[in-house]
Chain A
Amino acid sequence: MIAQKPALRLEGIVKTFPGVRALDGVSFEVMPGEVHALLGENGAGKSTLMKVLGGIYQPDDGTIFIDEAPVTMGSPLDAKAKGVVFIHQELSLADELSVAENIYLGELPTKSFGRVDWDSLHSNSAAILKRLNCKFTPQTIVGDLSIANKQMVEIARALTVDAKAVIFDEPTASLTDAEKVVLFDIISDLSRQGVGIVYISHRMDEIFTISTKISVLRDGEYRGSLATAETNEDEVTQLMIGRSLDLGQKVEHAQTGKVAIEVRNLSCGSLYHDVSFKVRSGEVVGFYGLVGAGRTEIAETLFGLRNPTDGTIHLDGEEVRIHSPVDAIRHGISLVPEDRKGQGLVLGMNCRDNMTLPQVADLTAGPFVSDGAEIAIFDQYRDKLAIKTPSWRQRVGNLSGGNQQKIVIGKWLSMAPKVLIVDEPTRGIDVGSKSEIHNLIRDLAKQGYAVIVISSEMPEVLRVSDRVVAMFHGEIIREFTSEEVTEDNLVQAISGIRSDKVA
């Protein structure tokens, strides 16, 4: 065999932030055509490593080689020019511009006098969109697209240059299964063309589907690499968190009490209609369905963010009207929202203040907020959720993605609600913490809380739920008890096969 040269090599990369050694001499290489999965716990340094590679951060020490020649990445544009393209975890598109303009943002083709060459802009964009199997036109305004389609635009951007390496940082977080298949096709396509791929994800199923090699980071250090074909989930988990986990196993279920929340014939325009269900205290009900099935909208209605057009909500047997989150919180309903950056966190505030935000009015001593009471709450949930931060003073915006999610969860758990609604609770969370959060949800149920879990991850729904509600196109298709639910009948239900709908 001919010894291939790596397309990309990082050597001894060090990057520190105040109080954090995010990368401690990491070396890493990507061969042409390889799909290299990068794994590690939340805050292990994966995104930081890739940001160094993508020219967003400058390393404190270490060297980057492209085709074995040392380079410096001055800026993201510089990195792109050198053939390294970064597809971000968070979308960074201009909502007011068209798809084509976004794809070629910063490098619009021009004619004389700097006029934009619309014809070639649109035809080039159309070609890229076709390659991605996208159904929308280059002229579409990005703001009108769904999140998944926006992600496609983000990917389309990467294809405008002759890329040597493409980095995907948790690209599937907001994609449906069908869209995922398309993404994986694109990735294999790129790898066949000799492009090296770095793929960051916390979802083992994806990693074992797509990758050829797996590398693990832990606490900013490189822990080793494994060939995907020769390893298994357990071995990878061991390397990542130093112990094994049994995520498939169902957690123990609790005694259920009386009905805590009941929804009768609830409708909201075209978003969902005639939805009825009950959740008892001590029970976890999972809502499973495709993205866009109306689950988030139901949650938002229960939390007072949307007004229902019809139907009623009952708490402890009494009808209630919930017009705002203030009402919801007063009634003991909490919502961990789907989009942590937009709806959940105040990024400029520190960790502690974010966590105590909904209850700070109850944490006063005289006219002032009590520092001690706040820190006590923060400490408790930092330990419970294993939140990784140098101190409570750290700005939440500086935490890794998964740790940000944990802050949001901690915020609502610390409110000790009667009804807790969690929307995609473990999106972007590492396997170790994922099982922690699952256990925590079960713990809450055991303590008598009624919990609603909305998730697009089937194993998660199967693991934590006492009952599973399957939704399709704004309707409840079927309810399963934990005994009768299986992957197969769940898949059937949510793809709209209604033959077995119970009357």
Chain B
Amino acid sequence: MHTERKNKLFKQSAIWGFIVIELVFFSIAGHFLSVSDKAFMDGANMLLLFKQSAPIGIIALGMTIVMINGNIDLSVGATYALCAIVMLDSMTWPIFAGLGDWVIPVAWLLALGTGMVLGLINGLIVWKTGVDAFIVTLGSMLGFRGLVFMYNGEQPTSHLNWTLVDIAEADLFGIETPTIVFVVFTILIWLLMSKTVHGRNAYAIGDNREAAVNAGIRVGPHMVWNFVLIGFLAALSAVVFYSASGSVNPNDGTLYELWVITAVVLGGTKLTGGSGSVISTFGGVIAIQLLRKGLGHIGADTAMVNLVIGLILIAVLFLDKQLNRKGREELKI
């Protein structure tokens, strides 16, 4: 009688259930198969997991809002690389020579600004031309990556600033900067999407654009804002990661868009728009990273990891569809 309610609960927590299963499985399997002698659910290991999730995770937050809005952004990987270059390279520009360590925030702002401008370009093209976001950002993915290669050819762009590395690797009670940024922005974006007018309207536009227009919602500006936000978040992700590493290869960030979309979809956000949540995306990101680490822990190689993630993605979405279709006429026919 109350199956639908139960399903709904399960649906919302499906990704969390999956994470629990992963943890249990890898803890037990790790006991017998582990290539190291550390326990899988070791505290340090879990903290590392969060930190490693951050680059993809921060971008995934942006992808979630763009997808809720009924669009998609394939250019995030290229944006990420380009912003990394801007940040590292700008620190060596002669005009900033007199700034000393104050060049660091300047470089950050430049990188974040670049991300927002790239997002703005995507958003404006999608709005003003009415071309599908998939096509537009497929184009800008190629274009932005072209810019990356024009910058330094096949050469990596490097700049090591120890103060920067110190900041990037700082920690609060053992939780490192990337993790803090990821968690804080998850909360901020969640507030944005669930509590503000912008969030409400973004859901409405993604679900039924015509109804949104009829309600006097300015569809274009909302879409543009979301593209600016994802550009910002892609840049933020680059800032967080490359502040520590100090060197960017022109191919960095390739295929990030697919990993990001995988995480978002695993978290239950619909490709068609109108529904989804950044909290579930957070879960999706953690689930993927757990899977990677866990499989590595029991000795699987990268090829194996990719195969398993692919299979699990399809399995989870199939399960999700089954759970949500019972008793609902739309999906049954």
In Å, the complex CA distance between A75 and B333 comes to: 8
Q: Which residue of A lies closest to B216 (CB)?
A: A329
Q: Is B208 an interface residue (CB 8 A)?
A: yes
Q: Is B275 an interface residue (CB 8 A)?
A: yes
Q: Which listed residue (B195, B211, B274, B332) contacts A344, Cβ 8 A? A: B211
Q: Which listed residue (B195, B327, B332) contacts A17, Cβ 8 A? A: B327
A342 touches B210 (CB 8 A): yes
Contacts A325-B215, A335-B214, A357-B215 given; does A364 touch B329 at CB 8 Å: no
A92 touches B333 (CB 8 A): yes
Residues of chain B having any CB pair with chain A under 8 Å: 1-2, 4-5, 8, 191, 195-197, 200-201, 203-204, 207-208, 210-218, 274-275, 327, 329-330, 332-333
Q: Which listed residue (B8, B196, B330, B332) contacts A369, Cβ 8 A? A: B196
* Residues of B with C-beta under 8 A to A303: 214
Q: Which residue of B lies closest to A370 (CB)?
A: B195
* Residues of A with C-beta under 8 A to B195: 367-369
A56 touches B218 (CB 8 A): no
Distance to closest chain B CB from A79 (angstroms): 12
B200 touches A18 (CB 8 A): no
Taken residue by residue from 303 to 332, chain A's Cβ proximity to chain B (1 for < 8 Å, 0 otherwise) reads as 101000000000000000000111011000
Contacts A17-B4, A346-B204, A349-B203 given; does A357 touch B327 at CB 8 Å: no
In Å, the complex CA distance between A222 and B63 comes to: 50
A57 touches B329 (CB 8 A): yes
Q: Which residue of B lies closest to A300 (CB)?
A: B214
Q: Is A348 an interface residue (CB 8 A)?
A: yes
Q: Which listed residue (B2, B197, B214) contacts A360, Cβ 8 A? A: B197
Give chain B's interface secondary structure class.
helix
In Å, the complex CA distance between A75 and B331 comes to: 12
In Å, the complex CA distance between A397 and B4 comes to: 15
* Residues of B with C-beta under 8 A to A325: 213-216
B196 touches A343 (CB 8 A): no
In Å, the complex CA distance between A342 and B211 comes to: 7
Q: Which 5 A-B pairs have the closest CB atoms?
A: A329-B216, A368-B195, A358-B215, A357-B215, A348-B207
Distance to closest chain B CB from A240 (angstroms): 25
A358 touches B216 (CB 8 A): yes
In Å, the complex CA distance between A303 and B214 comes to: 9
B214 touches A337 (CB 8 A): yes
Known: A348-B275, A360-B197, A368-B191. 8 other contacts (CB 8 A): A18-B4, A18-B5, A56-B329, A303-B214, A305-B214, A335-B214, A345-B211, A346-B203
Q: Is A232 an interface residue (CB 8 A)?
A: no
Distance to closest chain A CB from B200 (angstroms): 5
A346 touches B196 (CB 8 A): no
Distance to closest chain A CB from B59 (angstroms): 24
Interface centre among A75, A305, A367 (most CB of B within 10 A): A367
Q: Is A62 an interface residue (CB 8 A)?
A: no
* Residues of A with C-beta under 8 A to B1: 16, 60
B196 touches A367 (CB 8 A): yes
A76 touches B333 (CB 8 A): yes
